[in-house]
Amino acid sequence: MNIKNYITLTVFSIFLLFGEVFCQTKFLSPIEQLEKANATSGLFSPEIMQSNKEVLPVGNVISPEAYYLGPNDLLSIQIYPIEPYATPTYVTAENSIYSQRFGEININGLTLKEVRDTLTQLITKRNPNATVSISLLKPRNVFITISGNVLSPGSYTLPASYSVSTVLKVANQFKTTSLSADEQSALLRLNETQKERARTFSEMGVPINTSYSTRNIRILRKNDKSLVADLERANATNDAKYDPFICEGDEIFVPFDVENYPVISIVGEVLRPMTLAFKEGDMVSQLLKMGYGFTENADLDNIYLYDGLSNKEKLQVDTNCNLLSSDMKLKAGNIIAVGSLYDTKQSNIGMVSVKGEVKNPNIYVIQPGVTKLKDVIEKAGGFTQKAYLPRSYIARRENQQNDRVAPKRLYMEYFQKSDLTMEDTTRFMMDIDLKRNAVACNLDDAFNKNSEEDNVVLQDGDVIFINTNINRVTVFGQVRKPGIIEFTPNKNMEWYIEQAGGYATGAKKNRARIIRNNTKVWENGFQDAVFVNDGDEIYVPREPDIPPTLELQKWAAITGMVGALSGIISLIITAFR
């Protein structure tokens, strides 16, 4: 190899070496650059990043016009075509960013959009064809304080991407670990009270709550700026300035509701009927949005703005709550009422289901409150030979069966005006828990004894169960041969006890009872004309076990009463001699 070729190969190798080093340092991928920045800065080391994973979610979607940058915000900056990859850049503690081309850039008090515009202006001066892209990779954490009308006032470390409304949700979480037993009990009672109020007024078109605090949240900032957050207007206008992002050192105060203040309301067929504190500058279009949309029953041709009892103005509104006519400023006391599209009275037709031993079990159309039991059984073709009416019944659903009501509150509602003694509590709660949704009627009496009282009127959703006979009666307790006995019609309780071998030693005969199969009601079988039905059970209890000490106390009391009575009689005889 001659010297010329050797020099050429050496220079080429040097270029290859520099190119490899350059590619490894200059053209790192965004993820590789982020990992390198984390490792060298120490602020976001793998250990710290791992601990931050369990802290909090990012929060709200960032609005570049409203998000003010601060120390430790992590930005992604790309200048195309100068830099092929985006560069992760941290905001320094002095509220500035560093660029290799422009050096330090002060961004104090600037929003993300303002920083984007500033950097774009600097770069396009040198290269008009360059395109600048800046986005927020990871928001910083800030230390804020919240007080006033929240469940958990105090200091919090939260991402700066949290708006005031999100901070309120965090501060209003029910944290049982930080509360005493009395505080937990009080909060549970408050939750039940709010749930009961919602159950009473929901779907009625009237406001459940009034809102003062959410429109008057005060925010004190270190730069001597005082802000007032209006969460209702923020939702109506989708403007982040009414629900600002939090910053370092913010002191947030949520005011308590006051008794008398000017209000505006939206009522009727809206998803959230609401009465709100009136604020200067409120508009009709905003109040429409504060209802959170129309229900399916809303009549868009029946929406009026009321100013007093008689003054009203019709509003033209589309299905998205957008005002089609010219907007107007509201005055204190204004009400927007959204009418109903149709009458909410119950339908005049309904459905019942007939199951079991009928010739045509099916679903049948009825007129609720008019159609009777015998009418539906006739439609079903009558009973089969296997039908046994003493075991048959009608089940009726409850309209509020899905309400999530605490059992303790349910018991308290029943006992609030009760004249029962405290000794009745256990049995009462047992009866409430095992209450059956069965219609009070006897199908056997309705069809076999022509009892018009038991030919009940049906309601929508009723289910008629016509059961078959099971041909057995169970006798258990203090009998000689407890077990299952073949059913024989028109026999009383004593007859079945004899079939079970009669009473065993220790039986309390006068307390024997029939337990009805379909209702589980205990019935005295010693009464005349009381017969056992197919599937019934007969229970014969034993003599109650009385502890010896209690027995001694009983006889001691009897002896004492006899002695006292003897003394009184002796005293009377002596007095009349």
Helices (H), 202-307: 231-237, 284-289
pLDDT score for 199:
62
Measured CA to CA, the distance from residue 267 to residue 198 in angstroms comes to 15
Give me the sign of the Cα torsion angle 434, 438, 444, 446: positive
Measured CA to CA, the distance from residue 172 to residue 178 in angstroms comes to 13
pLDDT score for 519:
82
Q: From the first residue on, what is the mean pLDDT of each consecutive set of 10 residues in the chain (577 residues)?
A: 56 49 44 48 40 56 90 89 83 88 85 91 85 89 93 91 93 71 69 65 66 91 82 90 92 89 90 90 93 91 85 92 92 92 70 94 92 95 93 82 56 71 72 80 93 94 92 93 93 93 91 89 86 93 77 80 84 78
pLDDT score for 53:
44
Question: What CATH number was assigned to the domain covering residues 473-540?
Answer: 3.10.560.10
148-173: buried (b, 16+ CB within 10 Å) or exposed (e) per residue?
Answer: ebbeeeeebebbbbbbbbbbbeebee
**Which residues are registered as beta bridge partners of 105?**
97
pLDDT score for 202:
61
- The answer, as to whether pTM is greater than 0.85, is no
Which structure tokens are listed for 461? 């959703």
Tell me, which fold does domain 3-139 have in CATH? wza like fold (3.30.1950)
pLDDT score for 46:
40
Measured CA to CA, the distance from residue 214 to residue 230 in angstroms comes to 6
Helices (H), 177-278: 181-201, 231-237
Neighbours of 417 (CB within 10 A): 6
pLDDT score for 498:
94
Show me where the domains of the chain are located.
3-139, 144-340, 473-540
Backbone angles phi, psi at 149, to 5 degrees: -85, 65
Determine contact, residues 97/114, Cβ cutoff 8 Å.
Answer: no
User: Who's near 180: CB < 8 A, 6+ residues apart?
Assistant: none
